[in-house]
Structure 1
Amino acid sequence: MGTDWGLALQVVVYGFSAVFLVLVILMFSVQAMSAVIMGLEKRGKEEAGANN
């Protein structure tokens, strides 16, 4: 009863693929939230400048 290296390699590939996919999704979500926050800050500064 030996090690099934094909299955082991498949698990490793699936694991790394899943981690890579999660990190890519995280990167895009952080970039999107950053753009939203920067837009809100810019809008807030423009409104504060218009009130003075």
Structure 2
Amino acid sequence: MDADVAIVGAGPGGSTLAALLARRGLSVALIDRDAFPRDKLCGEFLSYDALPII
């Protein structure tokens, strides 16, 4: 695997960062130990103001 950036953690922060970097043309490897979707409630809520960013 060859990527410009590797991000460990595919929660809201890691996923948002991966999307922002990919939009700027970087190749991104997003790595998480869990399979998705998962039954974890924390991080599932994003405020309305966050939607334009992601």
TM-score scaled by structure 1? Answer: 0.29
The structure where helix makes up a greater share of residues is 1
- Relative contact order, higher structure (CA 8 A, sep 6+): 2
TM-score scaled by structure 2? Answer: 0.28
The structure where strand makes up a greater share of residues is 2
